[in-house]
Amino acid sequence: MPSGIVYLSHGRLFFKAEESPATEIDSEFAQSIRQRAFELQRRNAWKTQGRGAKFMSGGALWGGDPEDAAGIKIVVTGCARGSDGDMVYALQSPEISGLFRRKVDTLTEQRLLHTSDFKIGHIAVQRETNRLAMSLQHRGGATIAVMDGAGSGFAEVTQGESADESPQWFPGENKIVFQSAGLAQNEQGHYVGKGPATIQSLDLDSGAMTCLAEDSKFDLLGPQIASDGTLHFIRRPYRGERPRFNPLHLLEDILFPFRLIYALFQYLNLLTMMYTGKPLARSGNAQQRYADTGRMMIWGNLIEARKSLLKSGDEASGLVPASWELCRKGTDGNTEVLAKGVLAFDLERGGAVVYSNGAAIYRCDANGKTSRIHKDSMIQQVISVSDSVPSRTEPASGGEVPAHP
């Protein structure tokens, strides 16, 4: 694999080689879905043209804009560096999730897994064995699963009323480290709260689970173990989601008449389109079915880029506050802060740390010197595919927060 950075932005995967512009890594699977949608659109063109348009105006009966097959929402939900110079990534389409492996500089991809039962989140590859660990998003929480590099031997290794996410392998051991937050439900089975995220380790041979770090005042997120045994993680203030009465459940019953009126309006809207070719409501478009490109969900927080950037006036200002800290906990138990305003990070073999504030990517070398290596928008994840510091970087300046404050 060429040296550089792989990062996730706006649900799309990019590769930034040293001293070269970033290029998008597209997927054969995603292209095939869009191609099938385009062919289906072409076969059904009569329904959206001429007299047929009166019955299918706006694509209401087909679930979307008939002229926007290429706009089907297919997003990358996680990526990881492989052990054989390749990379593994997860895709989410409106119907299924898929896990794929490929070389950065080739177009051919290998499908390892596809399912409609859950959404695949963070991924980790064990360098020594090529085994995979991943988080699975279920309706009732999240679990950790493992499987071998060829896509067989799939097994969920955590369970219970918790959200287990962001798994990473211990160097040279059959153990994983991950974040875990307890979930609370009321007597009706409704979700009513989430405890602070702690850092747990799981020995896959013995099944023993150990708590490595916890703090009732903070969420501890995205853990990684360095080769020297130090623990790295993101620490942010806990939002206090303790079990409590949720008025939204009561509103579901109170608003039933309004939902009924809305359903009646949609029925009348359909009849109007059938007989006049025009809908009752003309506001909005198919693109509004999806999240705004200036918003994304990170670690359970909705991040709104426009507010953050307009407030700061700096294009490289972070999407998260300074209270989101990148921390390192040594084997002696002491914890130090490496950088503030950190949304995602990755470790390099030489002791350097690559991290992002959501708007730029930085490298903090083993001596604590920080430099900016790339800028983009809505960066959700960053993966280093280089074991050495690049020859040219930009000194951190402006609104950026350097390492070791």
- Domains of the chain, residue spans: 4-27+74-245+296-395, 35-69+255-289
Q: What is the pLDDT of residues 150-193, one digit of tens each?
A: 889 999 999 888 999 999 999 999 999 999 999 887 776 667 78
Mean pLDDT of 202-222: 97
Within 8 A by CB and 6+ apart from 295, the residues are 302, 303, 304, 305
Q: Is 401 helix (H, G, I), strand (E, B) or coil?
A: coil
Residues 6 or more apart in contact with residue 399 via CB below 8 angstroms? 312, 314, 316, 317
| 303 — pLDDT class (breaks 50, 70, 90) | confident
Cβ-Cβ contacts under 8 Å for 266 (sequence gap 6 or more): none
Q: Which pTM does this prediction carry?
A: 0.77
- Tell me what pLDDT residue 34 has: 75
Q: Give whichever of 183-197, 255-269, 329-343 has the largest mean pLDDT.
A: 329-343
pLDDT at position 74: 87
DSSP tag of 9: E
Which numeric CATH code is attached to 4-27+74-245+296-395? 2.120.10.30
